[in-house]
Amino acid sequence: AQKGLEVALTDLQSAWNNVQHHTEEISSERLLVRRGQAFNITLYFRNRGFQPGLDNVIFMAETEDSVYLDSEPQRQEYVVNDYGFIYQGNKNWIRPCPWNYGQFEENIIDICLELLDKSLNFQTDPATDCALRGSPVYISRVVCAMINSNDDNGVLNGNWSENYLDGINPAEWTGSVAILKQWHATGCQPVRYGQCWVFAAIMCTVMRCLGIPTRVITNFDSGHDTDGNLIIDEYYDSTGRILENKKKDTVWNFHVWNECWMARKDLPPGYGGWQVLDATPQETSNGLYCCGPASVRAIKEGEVDLNYDTAFAFSMVNADCMSWLVYGGKEQKIHRETNTVGNFISTKSIQSNERDDITENYKYIEGSPQERQVFLKALQKLRAGRSEDPHHASTSMPLSEDSLRRLHMPSLQPSDVVQVSLKFQLLAPPHMGQDISFVLLALNMSFQFKDLKVNLSAQSLLHDGSPLLAFWQDTAFITLSPEEAKTHSCRIPYSQYSQYLSTDKLIRISALGEEKSSPEKILVDKIITLAYPGIIINVLGAAIVNQPLSIQVLFSNPLSEYVEDCVLTVEGSGLFKKQQRVLIGILKPQHRASITLETVPFKSGQRQIQANLRSNKFKDIKGYRNVYVDLRL
């Protein structure tokens, strides 16, 4: 009988396979293959040649692709693209923040695998954890909990205190690679500090690196409803100033999370596709700080009892807002808004630098019958869920016919009752370092005379809705003839707001108006984000792999005062081996400067350079430039 074959050498054909599997940017030395796609290996035998018909080689590898996305442009954007934009600001002024995801940079794959091994799941039961790693639902929950450090040695420490002296201000980061490498280099000590967009960006890097299609989503006016009643209560004083909230219900000016694409065999049919995952530590889920995966379609349909955390995700885009006036120890209801939460839900477009508005994936048109029906369905499911929960038994009230009718009908706003409308209008775009000029427009919609007293105030906000001190107040007495409109002009000088600003550069101006003959009060506000002139980046000459390239960076101090401790950071996957830090020192008032950096691009294709300038007075003057790198001259 002929001797069996002895394998002398196995050639995994890593370089060839990795190109076919779009992993050549990670490595050409190790085999990295994607699920559901063929690959080649060559076996060399020691004792004799392979004889077809006589010899059999059986190779078993079974994979099922539960994260398969059938559009090639979508795969390019959501798996392969290593840069993007994260939208910030407020709904009146949406600003793209450039970001270097860098999922194919050196060592990132190993850091992502280390992250899985550092999870509580692996530490407690390695065998079960490894057996479940083929499930995107499982992996996404593990990664989500590992991005924040609330339960474990996660990647990032969250900080919303405005005190970042022992770390880096979240607004300064421009990419994920520096954060993941620092976490790895310090023996998995959480990196200080992150806020929502940094958590979401790191999650995007890790998930794209692991081959799961992922995108970063921004929701403007995002609800954080802590008690699950789909109502966010906001409290105001008699000047219209927003008060620190006892219940911690808040509306974030913007909040950032992820969507990952996957099949959901654990849910009824039709709920696969994009899933919300929110790595920002807000509420616990099964005892851990992670949120999701919650099916986007389930959120749209109000199916809030489907796994995981769908009710919380639903409230972020759908909660109603109730305003209360607090004075003399009493609370007076001002009005209920059904359409303030969940606006301009945004993500980067496929293969372009434009913004995609995906609000319709999350909800029916505001004010439409379907939208109110879905809200009611969600509310009833939540109340049914609560009545089974002994902790909540006392609060479960059946929905009466009257409350159902009230929810269906848009409620009368105070301005309809008083028949006066108030509105703010900016006279010029608000630039950092300049005075803010605006008017209050008052319109009498009735045939009677109206006597108004209006209290105006301005205060800084954090992007999570937390109010800071009020720093400006004004009172206006306005008399309106029938159907008359009048304006009241206001100006807030830079010297008055400069020391009160948060890093988020958000100012909330508000007016609380009352008319002599009516007890109703009218509350209006406007959120302003102060803008900086951005950094300008010029690429000097053609960009070619392994050829020197000069990059010019132009920046300025936008303020009319000296700024100190200026640091410019520049990075870009495939262009710079690591983040470049340039110490600039002091910049004179309004001073413009330029520096030129030399680099050697080491990857071809579409690339992006991201830059940030920080000082003791501002933290996040950003800029970016897309560059196409050719393989040869």
Tokens 């309004």 locate to 590
Dist. CA 456–CA 462, nearest whole Å: 20
The two structure tokens encoding residue 67? 């994260």
- How far are the Cα atoms of 322, 409, 412 from residue 336, in angstroms, in the given order? 4, 12, 9
Candidate list 278, 309, 525, 620, residue with the active-site label: 278
Report whether 483 belongs to an annotated binding site: no
The helix/strand count (H/E) of the chain reads as 15, 29
**Is the separation of the CB atoms in 431 and 560 below 8 Å?**
no
Nearest CA among 140, 142, 119, 151 for reference residue 289: 151
**Is the separation of the CB atoms in 435 and 492 below 8 Å?**
yes
Report whether 153 belongs to an annotated binding site: no
Examine the residue annotation and report whether 278 is marked as an active-site residue of this protein. yes
Residues 6+ apart with CB under 8 A from 138: 132
Candidate list 97, 196, 209, 321, residue with the active-site label: 196
Burial class (CB in 10 A: 0-12, 13-18, 19+), 274: buried
Candidate list 224, 255, 335, 488, residue with the active-site label: 255
Dist. CA 111–CA 230, nearest whole Å: 39
- How far are the Cα atoms of 282, 299, 344, 481, 623 from residue 279, in angstroms, in the given order? 9, 18, 21, 54, 26
The two structure tokens encoding residue 451? 């006597």
- How far are the Cα atoms of 208, 352, 567, 579, 597 from residue 609, in angstroms, in the given order? 20, 16, 16, 10, 12
Report whether 320 belongs to an annotated binding site: yes
Report whether 233 belongs to an annotated binding site: no
Examine the residue annotation and report whether 255 is marked as an active-site residue of this protein. yes
CA 7, 9, 10, 11: dihedral to nearest 10 degrees?
A: -150
- How far are the Cα atoms of 542, 554, 622 from residue 434, in angstroms, in the given order? 39, 21, 19
Which active-site residues does the annotation give?
196, 255, 278
Binding site as annotated, residues for Ca(2+) = 318, 320, 366, 371
